Structure 1
């Protein structure tokens, strides 16, 4: 995965655009907005050891929404949101009823993360003609390194490099930025690559 080429990066960015596009209508309804503009401004493959730094720093307080995916391949998807964005999101989704990131607010943020990851998974599933089955999302508020460390310990990850998608969505009232990362279990990335680029 270290030697990923420009064609693979372009493919991952296109998948990100398709996946985020899939999520816009659901997010629009949830955020009570007529229109949600979503962007995938940057797709990169980063060393696993540098992943926390690429998400704002290992000690940065964030909200993490993580989804374990089974089916034909195994992987984890994680959406990391800075605390200020998460609080803004919770306030908007609950129409001001959440008090910061209380249980109600965290539930709302988790649902947004679930919509985003589901959009990406649906794009992957369609393009690869594979079954991908997400489990209910988990959500945590902690330092970036702590959240990632817990998930990496569970994921049986064998790659030294990880796909990182920096995404954002903007409405008239909300500007949210976050990081979506895909942590594949053994051989999952190569399966995706073979199916999409080699026609295997």
Structure 2
């Protein structure tokens, strides 16, 4: 009996050796070639269409004034925007950001910022005549110049509630430049 098992075991080993020698191993897969997609042209972002007066998030777009301004976060619910033809003789448009605590307009609301648009020819004439430059130059193109005007002082009693609120909302010209988008 031992002989029978030995013989069966020998046959099995012989078959295993034969299979190993004949290479019943699957061939390695061929490497696949990857084709990279052609680069797509990058399109510049499109400006969102905007109605005459609109605040989108923290960006205010003025179609009439032709500019965009990043409204400081601290101004949220503390100012309202008024746009109108300018009362200044050389300017043709102005946009004012009026102090309005809680977003409520009051008769004594004073501007935190006024942006005026002046025809470039009128601005250059004013400079040639030795006139002082009002505010700070924010933007210019071939037709217009945009000037930012900030209050020179707090128009309210500094010890009053309104005076303290107004003072906390003031920005300087350097900050104004960084918030002016276009």
Structure 2 length as normaliser, TM-score? 0.25
Greater RCO between the two (CA within 8 Å, min separation 6)?
A: 1
TM-score by length of 1: 0.23
Relative to its length, the structure with more helix (as a share) is 1
Bigger share in strand:
1
